[in-house]
A and B are shown apart, each in its own frame.
Chain A
Amino acid sequence: MKVSVVSRSGREVVKGGIELKDSAKVADLQEAIHAKTKKYYPARQRLTLPAQPGKSGKPVVLSQKASLSEYCEKGSGSLTVVFKDLGPQVYYSTLFFWEYVGPLIIYPIFYYLPVYKYFGYEGERVIHPVQTYAMYYFCFHYFKRIMETFFVHRFSHATSPVSNVFRNCAYYWTFGAYIAYYCNHPLYTPVSDLQMKIGFGIGVVCQIANFYCHILLRNLRSPTGSGGYQIPRGFLFNIVTCANYTTEIYQWLGFNIATQTVAGYVFLAVAAAIMTNWALGKHSRLRKLFDGKDGQPKYPRRWVILPPFL
Chain B
Amino acid sequence: MAAVKRAYLAVYNWAVFFGWAQVLYFAVDALLRSGHEGVYAAVERPLQLAQTAAVLEILHGLVGLVRSPVSATLPQIGSRLFVTWGILWSFPETRTHILVSSLVISWSITEIIRYSFFGTKELFGSAPSSLLWLRYSSFLVMYPTGISSEVGLIYIALQFIKASEKYCIRMPNKWNYSFDYFYASILVLLVYVPGSPHMYTYMLGQRKKALANSKTA
Contact: B177 with A263, CB < 8 Å? yes
Contacts of A187 in B (CB 8 A): 171-172
Contact: A189 with B177, CB < 8 Å? no
Give the A interface residue count (CB, 8 A): 12
Contacts of A261 in B (CB 8 A): 175-177
Cβ of A40 within 8 Å of any chain B Cβ, yes or no, is: no
Per-residue contact bits, chain B 158-174, to A (CB 8 Å; 1 contact, 0 not): 00000000000001111
Question: What is the CA–CA distance of A188 and B171 in the complex, to the nearest angstrom?
Answer: 7
Contacts of A182 in B (CB 8 A): 176-178
SS of A interface (majority) = loop
Contacts of A185 in B (CB 8 A): 171, 176
Question: What is the CA–CA distance of A182 and B171 in the complex, to the nearest angstrom?
Answer: 9
Question: What is the CA–CA distance of A22 and B138 in the complex, to the nearest angstrom?
Answer: 61
Cβ of A260 within 8 Å of any chain B Cβ, yes or no, is: yes
Contacts of B173 in A (CB 8 A): 189
SS of B interface (majority) = loop
Question: What is the CA–CA distance of A189 and B177 in the complex, to the nearest angstrom?
Answer: 10
A36 shortest CB reach to chain B, Å: 36
Q: Which of B167-210 contact A (CB under 8 A)?
A: 171-178
Give the B interface residue count (CB, 8 A): 8
Count chain A CB atoms within 10 A of each CB in B171, B174, B175, B176 and give the residue with the most.
B176
Contacts of B178 in A (CB 8 A): 182
Contacts of A263 in B (CB 8 A): 176-177
Question: What is the CA–CA distance of A271 and B174 in the complex, to the nearest angstrom?
Answer: 23
Contact: B175 with A262, CB < 8 Å? yes
Q: Which of A172-191 contact B (CB under 8 A)?
A: 182-183, 185, 187-189, 191
Question: What is the CA–CA distance of A188 and B178 in the complex, to the nearest angstrom?
Answer: 11
Q: Which of A212-244 contact B (CB under 8 A)?
A: none
B106 shortest CB reach to chain A, Å: 33
Residue of chain B at shortest CB distance from A264: B176
Contacts of B172 in A (CB 8 A): 187-189
Question: What is the CA–CA distance of A183 and B176 in the complex, to the nearest angstrom?
Answer: 8
Per-residue contact bits, chain A 260-299, to B (CB 8 Å; 1 contact, 0 not): 1111000000000000000000000000000000000000
Contact: A262 with B174, CB < 8 Å? no
Contact: B171 with A260, CB < 8 Å? no
Contacts of B174 in A (CB 8 A): 189, 191, 260
A127 shortest CB reach to chain B, Å: 14
Question: What is the CA–CA distance of A99 and B123 in the complex, to the nearest angstrom?
Answer: 53
Question: What is the CA–CA distance of A259 and B176 in the complex, to the nearest angstrom?
Answer: 9
Question: What is the CA–CA distance of A185 and B172 in the complex, to the nearest angstrom?
Answer: 9
B184 shortest CB reach to chain A, Å: 13
Question: What is the CA–CA distance of A74 and B171 in the complex, to the nearest angstrom?
Answer: 73
Q: Which of A150-205 contact B (CB under 8 A)?
A: 182-183, 185, 187-189, 191
Residue of chain A at shortest CB distance from B169: A262
Question: What is the CA–CA distance of A261 and B172 in the complex, to the nearest angstrom?
Answer: 11
Question: What is the CA–CA distance of A52 and B67 in the complex, to the nearest angstrom?
Answer: 30
Contacts of A191 in B (CB 8 A): 174
List 17 A-B pairs, Cβ < 8 Å.
Answer: A182-B178, A185-B171, A187-B171, A187-B172, A188-B171, A188-B176, A189-B172, A189-B173, A189-B176, A259-B176, A260-B174, A260-B176, A261-B175, A261-B177, A262-B177, A263-B176, A263-B177
Q: Contacts A187-B171, A188-B172, A189-B173 known; list 5 others, CB within 8 Å.
A: A185-B171, A187-B172, A259-B176, A260-B176, A261-B177
Q: Which 9 A-B pairs have the closest CB atoms?
A: A262-B177, A187-B171, A187-B172, A261-B176, A189-B172, A182-B176, A262-B175, A189-B174, A188-B176
